[in-house]
Every structure is written in C-alpha cells, then in structure tokens.
Structure 1
C-alpha cells in the first residue's frame, strides 16, 4: 500500500469516527433511546437545547399568546396554513391519530401546536373553526408575518411568504415538526413524512426522559 493510499485510509477512518460520534451525541444524549431507532423514526435530537425567539403571537380567541405559555409540557409545533391543499391536512390528521394512540400519561404531557404562516387569511375565528374540525385539542396561534418568520427561522423551519395579491395563493413550507421541551427550549425535530407506527414506538421514551 502506498503512502497516499495509507493516508486516504486513515482520513476515511477519522471521518467515519467523527461522523459516528456526532450522530451518537445528537441522538443519544440523556438516554432518550436507541440512536438508530430514533433516526429511523425521523426523530432528530439536538446536541444542546436551543432558545426559541420570544415573539408575540395570538391564539384562536384573538388573545396574546406568549411562547412561555408552552412551558410545563412537551410540545410539537407544526408550521402551516388552513388553505394548504395537501401537507397540512395530512399532517394534522396524522398528529391526531398519533396523539390518540400514545399512552395516557404521555398525552397529558404533550401539546400539539399549529402555527399559521398565512395571517392574511387565517384569522383567529377561521383558525379556531379549522382546527376544531380535527377534534384533537390543537393549540392554534398566528401573528404578524415578521414575528412568524422570526419564530420559524429561529427553529430552522423557514417558509417562503406567498404573493398574497394572487388569488388562491399557496405558501411553500416544510412538513417537519419542532420538538420543544417543558423548559420552553427546542430539543429537536421530527422529520416529514411522519411514520406514526415508528413514532409510537420511540416518542414516549423521548417525552418521558429526565430533564
């Protein structure tokens, strides 16, 4: 084996080791489950929790909603809009099914939050009516577009604001979920598309882990 070949082998081994340690650190910190199984379920945990931008939002009653109100329970945040033709209704239906099958103690410690990225059409009244259709206890919030963009960018779920001058406009956005801990800090993501069976196997362990 030549010197160059040996160098390549050594570098490849080092890269593999670093990558392995990084994945293990991200997915296996705090004993929240098997890293391979978590990744297979679409659950990606951050190596360190991340502060969430404290922006002013409004709930489905039109009252101010501070993100500190999420503290005390785990939360899953989904950014979407009520006129979405595909991703949003599918994801909300999956979340309803997932929540209904989780153990009772996990359900009681989990909040499902829908953040509208279309404040022009998603008024408090319309948002309340739309989420009420699912009968899943979704918390609905929206706000001024700059505040929503700040929040979305802060949790790495950016979206592309629509041209609201166009009739029946759509908004490009991600189907990923944001995992927020009882301390109000971001703990990770759940990647789209959701696999409820695998999430049912892995999510209770994550949400039951010690702080």
Structure 2
C-alpha cells in the first residue's frame, strides 16, 4: 500500500468514526433505547411483535375486560396470584417503587396488570383488596382457567395450574413481566428479578413516541 493509499485509508476510517459517533449522539439525544443497555436492564425485545388472542376476562371491579382493551398505553403484565407467599408480593412492591421513580409522562403512559393464575381463589373482590395495598391504579384480571392459560401460552409465560383440592395450595409460575405496546401487541419481556435502578433509566427511552 502506497503512502497516499495509507493516508486515504486513515482519512476514510476517521470520517467513518466521526460519522458513527455523530449518529450515536443524535440517536441518544432523541431518547431512543440502546439494545445493549436494554438487555443489561433485563429487557428482552422480540424480533417481531406478537398479537394477543381475543379473550374476555374479568377485572377487579367485576367488569368484563377484553384483552384487546390493553391498548393506548404501554402495559406490564405479571402472571401471579394474591395468595402467593413470596414472588408476587415482592414483584408488586418492586413495580410500585418503579412507577414512583419514573418520570411523570412515562408513569402516566404505563399500565401494570396482574393476571391471576389462581382464579379459584382470586375473585374480583380479592384482587381489588390485594392490589389496593400496593397501588390502586394497578389492574387485576381473573376469569376462566382455560382463558388465562391461553393468554399465558400466547405470551410465553409458563405456569402450572394447581391442584385446588389441596389445602393452602401454591401455583408454580414465572416471575417475568410481559411488555405490551400501545397497539396491544407483545413487544418483549422483562426478566425477573427486576432491576429498578436500570429499568428507571431504560423504560422512558423504550416508551418514548417515535417521530
């Protein structure tokens, strides 16, 4: 390689570096989420969004709640139950803390939903009483076991329906959260356990409107 070729090569590399840094700065200034930082915060985005099945459940007020009502806001779905001895109260407490630390605009555009995997005991009244302890704005959903199982399967959240004939039974379930976009489709997951410090930094960028 001649001296001129080497000079041209170095100049091209420098220009590419400057352009790369400039583009990164522009994207960052627009608040777009960085995929690496999202993963570090436990946020796993799907390569393609998933459509949820058409189902009807019941909310904590005893009203019919169609799954396609989960639109117009971002939603975090947690599949748990009110008699859970450990994972559920800890996760809901974390979600309460997370919401309190988010910027007002982000907080106002985020819905937290507990989908019961124990419809035998989780009546609407029980859900409402339980969720009010954490945050009165949290939504609770219960319904037929088949409908809940179908929704859980659609968003890849495993749980094993319990033997309800046993006294004080527990339900084995995942602690991951499901991320739904404002269009009502699944965008990804948040892995358990939650890292609120990092989620507070990443969720606003993830949820920011795209120009």
TM-score band w.r.t. shorter chain = 0.7 to 0.9
SS in 1 for 2:173: coil
Contact 1:96 1:136 in 2 (8 A): no
- Please report how far the alpha carbon of residue 117 of structure 1 lies from its aligned counterpart in structure 2 after TM superposition: 0.6
Residue in 1 aligned with 2:21? none
Q: TM-score, normalised by structure 2?
A: 0.83
- Please report how far the alpha carbon of residue 135 of structure 1 lies from its aligned counterpart in structure 2 after TM superposition: 2.5
Q: Distance in 1 between matches of 2:49 and 2:87?
A: 27
1:182 matched to 2:196: no
Residue in 2 aligned with 1:89? 89
- Please report how far the alpha carbon of residue 55 of structure 1 lies from its aligned counterpart in structure 2 after TM superposition: 1.2
Residues 101-129 of structure 1: per-residue CA shift (max 9 Å, x gap): 10000011110011001000000111110
Q: TM-score, normalised by structure 1?
A: 0.83
- Please report how far the alpha carbon of residue 209 of structure 1 lies from its aligned counterpart in structure 2 after TM superposition: 4.2
Q: Distance in 2 between matches of 1:67 and 1:55?
A: 6
Q: Distance in 2 between matches of 1:43 and 1:54?
A: 26
Contact 1:59 1:141 in 2 (8 A): yes
Residue in 1 aligned with 2:56? 56
Q: Which moved more, 1:128-137 or 1:145-154?
A: 128-137
Q: Which moved more, 1:33-42 or 1:156-165?
A: 33-42
Asked which structure has the greater CA Rg, the reply is 2
Q: Distance in 1 between matches of 2:121 and 2:184?
A: 28
Question: How many residues get paired?
Answer: 181
Residue in 1 aligned with 2:164? 164
Residue in 1 aligned with 2:23? none
- Please report how far the alpha carbon of residue 60 of structure 1 lies from its aligned counterpart in structure 2 after TM superposition: 1.0
Residues 150-193 of structure 1: per-residue CA shift (max 9 Å, x gap): 00000000200001000000000000000000000000000000
Q: Which runs of 5+ in 1 are unaligned?
A: 1-30
Residue in 2 aligned with 1:106? 106
- Please report how far the alpha carbon of residue 201 of structure 1 lies from its aligned counterpart in structure 2 after TM superposition: 0.9
Residue in 2 aligned with 1:118? 118
Q: Distance in 2 between matches of 1:61 and 1:35?
A: 38
- Please report how far the alpha carbon of residue 136 of structure 1 lies from its aligned counterpart in structure 2 after TM superposition: 4.7
1:200 matched to 2:205: no
Q: Distance in 2 between matches of 1:42 and 1:32?
A: 17
Residues 133-162 of structure 1: per-residue CA shift (max 9 Å, x gap): 113510011110000000000000020000
Deviant stretches of 4+, over 2 Å = none
